[in-house]
């Protein structure tokens, strides 16, 4: 398979992205990855879009083995897709018995007919058909879907899978596990959902992006399943022989009305013993994960306790890197590093058992990952958080939020942090 290529200069990147999004939504399967013009380290693509599978992999068991075969069969091609959280069951021999009504596949990857890459005011088109100029003209002349932030979500009743009282009790139980030495830290998540939900996914995604633009945002459509993602977090990236992971642990609310107060909040997060201890535990976990696939002695912490600012919150992000063989297989990387430490805890296997014991929903694509593999065998995958999941056939809408629980956690504060992380979602759906 050969990609026809052409590049075009773009005057208004923001407008062109909206035109691409509206165009991509006509396809049953599309993946729209958006950096939202963040100038973060290790990010050089503003937007990457893939539509219309020529080949696809949709599996519910032995997923990593089949993924490895799929990638080997389709070397030097663009590959896009997702890995659900429950792939953990294959890696750690755990089981998941809760229900997941959104029902994304366990693992899905596809070779797209068309890929569009936006970088430095330039749109690079890759198409298996020799119609690149025509494609560009069609998108350039298409109308954008515009929405009002105040549009109503009629008959949308958001419910929680567990009550606040239950949540507080579970945190105390988890801290008992920590005191006994079962684990050091555990990421505990809860689901909020709406039934009989009738929404326009692309409009909801646009509103979410307007309220909370984030560097690992994603509109991902898989037939009747939709992911509207405003993630600030990268799971894993490979560029040539360098691999990096950037876990987030540590969150504090912003005060956007008072710049001085906002700066003080950043310092408060940086000086928080609780958040630093959370962060460094996950950094150690990621270092250990990366050491399984990296060259000996190459794993290092490039940045510890970096404070980064997003629309609603300041976050503490650390960057860990290592050196790998350039032809390393992505499935092998998943085997060593998935699920990501920031969404599990330490030690991973025991934490995953406790997650199943205390959470009430399967996570599914939430706290899984969405991203791409390039023809050069580079890849970049996010952490699916701050996201709305929607099944259009079942009319079931869901979002999940969680936080890292340690010995120092305060249950009431953890609950408030969950609500803070979901603030943009609640604004969009209200």
Confidence at residue 150, expressed as pLDDT on a 0 to 100 scale: 44
Predicted model pTM:
0.96
Matching residue, tokens 């729209």:
32
Residue 358: inside a domain: yes
Catalytic residues: 233, 249
Q: How confident is the model at residue 142 (pLDDT cuts 50, 70, 90)?
A: confident
Residue 117 pLDDT > 70: yes
Q: How confident is the model at residue 151 (pLDDT cuts 50, 70, 90)?
A: very low
Confidence at residue 234, expressed as pLDDT on a 0 to 100 scale: 98
373-389 confidence digits (pLDDT tens)? 999 999 999 999 999 99
Residue 151: inside a domain: no
Confidence at residue 155, expressed as pLDDT on a 0 to 100 scale: 73
Confidence at residue 362, expressed as pLDDT on a 0 to 100 scale: 96
For residues 280 and 149, the model is more confident at: 280
Residue 74: inside a domain: yes
- C-alpha closest to that of 64 among 72, 52, 74, 54: 72
Residue 340: inside a domain: yes
Q: Return the CATH number at 63.
A: 3.60.120.10
Confidence at residue 2, expressed as pLDDT on a 0 to 100 scale: 78
Residue 287: inside a domain: yes
CA–CA separation, 207 vs 426, rounded Å? 11
Summary mean pLDDT of the chain: 94
214-265 confidence digits (pLDDT tens)? 999 999 999 999 999 999 999 999 999 999 999 999 999 999 999 999 999 9
Residue 353: inside a domain: yes
For residues 141 and 145, the model is more confident at: 141
Residue numbers of the domain that contains 108: 4-140+156-429
- C-alpha closest to that of 337 among 222, 245, 259: 245
Residue 130: inside a domain: yes
Extended beta strands in 331-415, E state: 345-346, 369-373, 379-382, 387-391, 396-405
> What's the number of domains the chain is made of?
1
Confidence at residue 153, expressed as pLDDT on a 0 to 100 scale: 62
CA–CA separation, 261 vs 263, rounded Å? 5
Extended beta strands in 64-140, E state: 79-83, 107-119, 122-127
Q: How confident is the model at residue 145 (pLDDT cuts 50, 70, 90)?
A: low
Residue 351: inside a domain: yes
């Amino acid at each position: 398979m050969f990609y026809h290529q052409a590049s075009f200069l773009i005057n208004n990147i923001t407008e062109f992205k909206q035109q691409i999004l509206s165009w991509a939504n006509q396809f049953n399967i599309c993946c729209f990855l958006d950096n939202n013009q963040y100038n973060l380290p290790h990010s050089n693509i503003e937007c990457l879009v893939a539509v219309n599978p020529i080949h696809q992999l949709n599996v519910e068991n032995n997923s990593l083995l089949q993924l490895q075969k799929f990638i080997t069969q389709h070397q030097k091609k663009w590959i896009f897709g997702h890995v659900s959280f429950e792939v953990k069951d294959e890696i750690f021999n755990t089981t998941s018995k809760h229900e997941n009504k959104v029902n994304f596949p366990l693992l899905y990857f596809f070779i797209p007919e068309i890929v569009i890459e936006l970088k430095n005011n330039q749109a690079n088109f890759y198409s298996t058909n020799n119609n690149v100029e025509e494609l560009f003209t069609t998108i350039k002349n298409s109308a954008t879907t515009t929405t009002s932030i105040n549009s109503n979500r009629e008959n949308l009743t958001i419910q929680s899978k567990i009550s606040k009282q239950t949540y507080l009790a579970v945190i105390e139980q988890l801290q008992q596990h920590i005191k006994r030495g079962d684990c050091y830290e555990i990421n505990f998540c809860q689901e909020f959902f709406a039934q009989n939900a009738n929404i326009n996914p692309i409009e909801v995604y646009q509103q979410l992006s307007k309220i909370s633009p984030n560097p690992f945002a994603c509109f991902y459509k898989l037939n009747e399943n939709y992911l509207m993602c405003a993630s600030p977090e990268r799971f894993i990236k490979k560029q040539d022989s360098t691999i990096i992971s950037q876990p987030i642990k540590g969150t504090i609310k912003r005060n956007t009305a008072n710049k001085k107060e906002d700066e003080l909040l950043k310092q408060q997060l940086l000086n928080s013993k609780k958040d630093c201890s959370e962060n460094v535990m996950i950094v150690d976990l990621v270092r250990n994960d990366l050491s399984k696939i990296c060259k000996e002695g190459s794993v290092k912490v490039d940045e510890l306790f970096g404070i980064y600012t997003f629309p609603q919150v300041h976050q503490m992000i650390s960057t860990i890197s290592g050196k790998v063989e350039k032809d390393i297989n992505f499935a092998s990387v998943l085997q060593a590093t998935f699920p990501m430490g920031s969404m599990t805890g330490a030690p991973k296997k025991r934490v995953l058992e406790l997650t199943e014991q205390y959470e009430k929903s399967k996570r599914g694509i939430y706290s899984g990952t969405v991203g791409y593999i390039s023809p050069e065998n580079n890849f970049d995958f996010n952490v699916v958080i701050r996201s709305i999941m929607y099944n259009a056939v079942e009319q079931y809408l869901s979002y999940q939020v969680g936080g890292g629980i340690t010995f120092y956690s305060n249950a009431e504060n953890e609950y408030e942090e969950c609500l803070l992380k979901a603030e943009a979602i609640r604004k969009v759906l209200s």
